[in-house]
Structure 1
């Protein structure tokens, strides 16, 4: 299974109703958007500690998860902090660039601070929901929220084919590695190209097998959810 799926099944709240989890997630999001930056920072610490306790993971591993989107967040915050103006009085610190001055704006610094902590708190809340909600409970939640049945079926099939894709890719990569396909850089590129082409054909074959299985079982266009 995927790492996220493994973590969701080892959660202490694995058996808790998905509706309760979703309600708590909405409460976390509301607090993340309503609280001031200091409150958002405290909320971030509380959610992070709660997530680590539920999933039985250490804080270092959790920080690694946060480091994935943190680069994009910092890039967005930097663009908010810096501003361009003809007048240096409007900037706390500036560098002349022709007739313009590029520097740090006081208002932009305040907005960046609010955006940073709000985004981290909302991200921690989203991580909490995703990592504590097994996929079967997600399907139940979507049904309770009256999501169209066709969309739920598409999500279910997409999730199923992710596992098929990873399984086929790992099998091909393992066979290539045993034949020293990635020993050199040129050989690695050739092996990667072969992996992609073979993966496409083998996934299509698995799809045809699934269609045949459904026809044998008198599939009428609806999955039993």
Structure 2
């Protein structure tokens, strides 16, 4: 089983490009994202977005949907940098009274929030470019060539596999509950969600036992052939 991101990496125009080249392109993007001023980071963001959409044959709106979840966390972080609390509002560009204090925006806070936003967004777009264009087998090859410890590589491989098992089981349980109107009302939805979590834990353990039995049948000696 593969998820949407994994399927996209296989339809990329750079699917057959060596993973080392992709990694060095990503490093170049990251260096530019952390060294350019905010206007340059904005230009880099637009170039990376257009490059990603062209390589993956997807629309700009679909790329934005992929970016929306981490972007929400980024906006919350930037907001905490932007807002300041002070006793006197004299130096604040915008201020709202809160009892004996003022909540507002300081000039240095605005500058820092602006720099953080564009730097993080450019770095995030570059990282998404690598994730969306690097199939998991190529990632394993890259880790091996980077002399990453074998144990860590095996853990990454198993974690990747169990993510899909978890998603597959969760989707199957949720589909069955939906067909039985398990989420028709809010209280019923909470009960169904609790049942889903309990069943999910049990079914994943059963899948793990099945995989362990399969490995024993194949005379597994503690090492995967990477």
- TM-score by length of structure 1 reads 0.90
SS in 2 for 1:90: coil
SS in 1 for 2:93: strand
1:94 has 2:91 as partner: no
Shift of 1:102: 3.1
Distance 2:187 2:76 in 1: 35
Distance 2:102 2:196 in 1: 52
Q: Which residue of 2 aligns with 1:174?
A: 175
Q: Against the structure 1 CA distance between its residues 188 and 85, is the aligned structure 2 distance closer, same or farther, given a 3 Å change threshold?
A: closer
Distance 2:92 2:187 in 1: 52
Q: How many residues align?
A: 225
Q: Which moved more, 1:23-32 or 1:84-93?
A: 84-93
1:20-99 pair list within 5 angstroms: 20-99=21-100
Shift of 1:21: 0.6
Q: Against the structure 1 CA distance between its residues 39 and 224, is the aligned structure 2 distance closer, same or farther, given a 3 Å change threshold?
A: same
Q: Which residue of 2 aligns with 1:211?
A: 212
Shift of 1:168: 2.4
Distance 1:147 1:194 in 2: 40
Q: Which residue of 1 aligns with 2:148?
A: 147
Shift of 1:99: 4.7
Q: Against the structure 1 CA distance between its residues 85 and 155, is the aligned structure 2 distance closer, same or farther, given a 3 Å change threshold?
A: same
Distance 2:21 2:48 in 1: 16
Q: Against the structure 1 CA distance between its residues 185 and 90, is the aligned structure 2 distance closer, same or farther, given a 3 Å change threshold?
A: closer
* Unmatched 5+ stretches in structure 2: none
Distance 1:190 1:104 in 2: 44
Distance 1:133 1:214 in 2: 28
1:180-219 pair list within 5 angstroms: 180-219=181-220
Deviations 1:177-212 (A, max 9, x none): 444444454544444333332222222122112111
* Unmatched 5+ stretches in structure 1: none
Q: Which residue of 1 aligns with 2:160?
A: 159
